[in-house]
Amino acid sequence: MQSSLSLRQMSIPKGLGYLTIMAPRNLLYMRSNFLFGSRCWMIRFSAEVLFKSVSFRLFSMKCDNADSEPLESAELLNNLLTMGVDVDMAKKRQPGVFNRRGTNEQNLKTFLLSKGASKEVIASIISRYPRAMTRTPESLSYRWDLWRRIVTSDLEIVAILERSPESFFRSSNNLNLEKNIEFLYSVGLTHKCLCRLLTSAPRTFSNSLELNKQMVEFLREVCLSLGHNDPTGFVRKIIFKNPFILIQSTKRVKTNIEFLQSAFNLNNEQLLVLIHGPGAKILDLSNDCMRRNYTNIKERLFSLGCTTEEIRKFVLSCPDVIFLGEKKFSDKIDCLIEEKISISQIIENPRILDSSISTLKSRIKELVNAGYNLSTSNISLLSWSQKRYNAKLKKLNTGQNVVLGN
């Protein structure tokens, strides 16, 4: 027996972008042909059925249709342009925000204006971190109150948001923020330290409370294992010197501490002084980066005739040099040597490597023009603050003019 089936309707739900049809089930024999067009489906379907009873089931096929993509809200775009937001920048940074069904840009604007932010600052915040528009007024108010437990005024918070909008808007988990603030205060951190964490390492407050507790407990254990009897002060000093340490794993920090002790042959007392002093800043480096950069420093200084002890003294007096990659370190050394500064002078004044190459070159030129002999004089002024350096340069130029006048 033969029986023919006809499909009465084919529907494409507009919002879903799916083609849904009825298909025969339990068929012994079927012939089907599909013809595809660029804009529509043309289907010719025939079937030979050897049984009278036929059951059906639904199946669906995804249609690649541009019309199924979420459309940007014209109202949102108009609001942002009216507010002075750089829409192109915002789209580039967080494009997904523009496909959301609801945003709160007007509420955000009203809220920040009430806290003392200018329209220009609000536009800048949204341009750089458009996800801020997704926060509800209730969430904003609650989070602001939590921040006021750390920051003394609304205008100070506004200034922080202007510099780093991510620090405030990155997370919407206010309960987790509240728990972390309470915990970090409990371990002895000051307003100043927590404020630094908010602006420098906001992920600290997005961490689960348990992760922050693990790092603090680990640092306490390190302190006690090295024979120090003030673990609270130890933890406070390390976090203050390196606000990024709480967003790293205990495994990374442990491996770096072990590397520093073995590489420089430090006893417990020396290691303690290093890691909660000048070495605290490098504890969050990746283990591979620390080893690689230290190896590059040794090889470069060995090639210039330095001894193992001189290299050890050089790095321990300024552990920040381990941040420098091979090329940057070599370029700075070459820049100084080209200006007749000896490697022994560099070893004695490692801080000069903190300055950029352009700063080193411009200062060397200015000092030479002022009659300063870098080969025989103190070179530490190459790393001085700009204010202190300018005062010294002015004094040198004045002295030279007096000599020339005579």
Q: Categorize the per-residue pLDDT at 72 as very low, low, confident or very high, splitting at 50, 70 and 90.
A: low
pLDDT in tens, 362-395: 999 999 999 898 888 889 999 999 999 999 999 8
**Whether pLDDT at 38 is above 80:** no
pLDDT in tens, 278-291: 999 999 999 999 99
Closest CA to 113 of 140, 148, 93, 134: 140
CA distances for 314 relative to 185, 270, 273, 320, 330, angstroms: 36, 15, 16, 11, 15
Residue 73, pLDDT score = 77
Q: Categorize the per-residue pLDDT at 201 as very low, low, confident or very high, splitting at 50, 70 and 90.
A: confident
What's the maximum distance between 2 C-alpha atoms anywhere in the chain?
Answer: 125
Closest CA to 350 of 315, 324, 298: 315
**Whether pLDDT at 47 is above 60:** no
Mark out the alpha helices in 101-190 (DSSP H runs): 105-114, 119-128, 137-147, 154-163, 166-169, 174-186
| Mean pLDDT, the chain, whole residue set | 83
Strands of 49-116, DSSP E: 55-62
CA 358 to chain centre: 26
Domain over 173-284 is classified CATH 3.40.50.150: no
**Whether pLDDT at 8 is above 60:** no
- The amino acid sitting at 242 is N
Cα(104)–Cα(137) distance, integer angstroms: 8
Which is more confidently placed, 41 or 109? Answer: 109
Phi and psi angles of residue 270, each rounded to the nearest 5 degrees, phi first: -65, -40
Residue 35, pLDDT score = 38
Closest CA to 11 of 72, 63, 49: 63
Which is more confidently placed, 238 or 65? Answer: 238
pTM given for the model: 0.70
pLDDT in tens, 155-183: 999 998 998 898 899 888 999 999 999 99
Taking only Cα atoms into account, the Rg of the chain, rounded to an integer number of angstroms, comes to 33
Domain residue ranges of the chain, discontinuous segments joined by +? 75-171, 173-284
Which is more confidently placed, 208 or 402? Answer: 208
Specify whether the CB–CB gap between 47 and 32 falls below 8 A. yes
Angle subtended at Cα 379 by Cα 378 and Cα 385, rounded to the nearest 5 degrees: 115
Strand-pair category, 55-62 with 18-25: antiparallel
Residue 376, pLDDT score = 86
Residue 402, pLDDT score = 53
- % pLDDT > 90, the chain: 64
